[in-house]
Amino acid sequence: MGERELEGVRTLTTVHHINCGFIQVPGGPKAVCHCLLLEDARGLALVDAGIGLLDCRDPDGRVGRPLIDLVGFQFDEADTAARQVERLGFRPADVTDIVLTHADPDHAGGLADFPAARVHVSAEERAAVAAGNPRYLPVQFAHGPDWRPHPAGPADRDWFGLPARPVALGFAAEVLLVPLFGHTPGHCGVAVRQSGRWVLHAGDAYYLRVELTTDDHPVSALTAARADDDPRRRESLEAVRRLARDHAGEVEVFGYHDPAEFAPAG
């Protein structure tokens, strides 16, 4: 857990692993929507927002039957980030910030359930949303999110050989956007510091962990097909593979969809 001295008292940021939905591509395994809830003395922040309440209440109107059938969305209000936050004893209004790996519908559907939250995203991803990239659902942004795009800049730091953009939440834990472009134009991992180690939420840099060790698994064809820029996605995957291989003692890597990587924890 991240540490900081706040008014003379040591405080911690607790990282909760929460599953905010399920999807199941026809013929494929059931996948989770692995989000994080960062609990800090200054407030709460989500890493990704999962499938939202409004999506559950009007799937065809918001997500659309063709996409539901293609991706295999499953809708249950109990799985949404809003309900998960409540289950942990908080109010959705306590969520001050959301850090998105990217804005695909299974990651951004819950944004509308936290309308006052600041939404941190790479500047490249924000531009892709604004440009009307067809992979995104404009209805999920109709509430007018408080976008906080993070461009590359002089504050960037070298993070295990990768450029990283600080996200200034004011929390005890340091939080970074780590560009892993390719799946979408501005896809990023989100790194959170925990007592001398880091966790890296790799988003959709891979779908199943087996992709970190092989290119021959059938899911590799799916990740390639869903990428906006597959050569760049492969470069990002190689970066994640290097982190998992060479820095396992310093960085815990996990993705958004592999159920084997999800273990609820406080």
Residue-wise pLDDT for 162-171, tens only, equals 999 999 999 9
Question: How far apart are the C-alpha atoms of 47 and 103, rounded to whole Å?
Answer: 12
Query: What is the per-residue pLDDT across 47-81, written as a single tens digit (0 to 9) for each?
Result: 999 999 999 999 999 999 999 999 999 999 999 99
What whole-number percentage of the chain has pLDDT above 90? 91
Task: Give the pLDDT of residue 11.
Answer: 59
Q: Which amino acid is at 47?
A: V
The residue written with tokens 């850090």 in the block is 99
Classify residue 266: in a domain, yes or no. no
Task: Give the pLDDT of residue 28.
Answer: 83
Q: What is the token pair recorded at 170?
A: 């004011």
Task: Give the pLDDT of residue 1.
Answer: 37
The distance of Cα 266 from the centroid of its chain, to the nearest Å, equals: 18
What whole-number percentage of the chain has pLDDT above 70? 95
pLDDT surpassing 80 at residue 264: no
Classify residue 117: in a domain, yes or no. yes
Q: What is the mean pLDDT of residues 11-26?
A: 92
Q: What is the mean pLDDT of residues 225-242?
A: 98
The number of distinct structural domains making up the chain is: 1
Q: What is the mean pLDDT of residues 91-101?
A: 98
Give me the DSSP letters along the chain: -EEEEETTEEEEEEEEEEEEEEE--TTS--EEEEEEEEEETTEEEEE--BS-HHHHH-HHHHT-HHHHHHHTEE--GGGSHHHHHHHTT--GGGEEEEE-S---HHHHGGGGGSTTSEEEEEHHHHHHHHTT-TTS-GGGGTT--EEEEE---TT-EEETTEEEEE-----SS-EEEEE-TTSSTT-EEEEEEETTEEEEE-TTS-SSGGGGT-S-STHHHHHHHT-SSHHHHHHHHHHHHHHHHH-TTTEEEE-SS-GGG---B-
pLDDT surpassing 70 at residue 222: yes
Question: How far apart are the C-alpha atoms of 52 and 95, rounded to whole Å?
Answer: 15
Mean pLDDT, the chain, rounded, equals 94
Classify residue 265: in a domain, yes or no. no
Task: Give the pLDDT of residue 156.
Answer: 97
Classify residue 243: in a domain, yes or no. yes
Classify residue 85: in a domain, yes or no. yes
Q: What is the mean pLDDT of residues 240-266?
A: 91
**Could you list the residue range(s) of the whole structural domain that residue 26 is in?**
2-260
Q: How does strand 95-99 pair with strand 43-47? A: parallel
Q: What is the mean pLDDT of residues 190-215?
A: 95
Q: What is the mean pLDDT of residues 76-97?
A: 97
Are 104 and 130 contacting, i.e. CB atoms less than 8 angstroms apart?
no
Classify residue 253: in a domain, yes or no. yes
Confidence of residue 112 (pLDDT cuts 50, 70, 90): very high
What does each C-alpha distance from 209 to 114, 130, 141, 155, 240 come to in angstroms? 30, 31, 30, 31, 11
Classify residue 219: in a domain, yes or no. yes
Residues 104, 106, 112: CA angle, nearest 5 degrees: 90
Confidence of residue 139 (pLDDT cuts 50, 70, 90): very high
Which CATH number characterizes residue 41's domain?
Answer: 3.60.15.10
Task: Give the pLDDT of residue 8.
Answer: 37
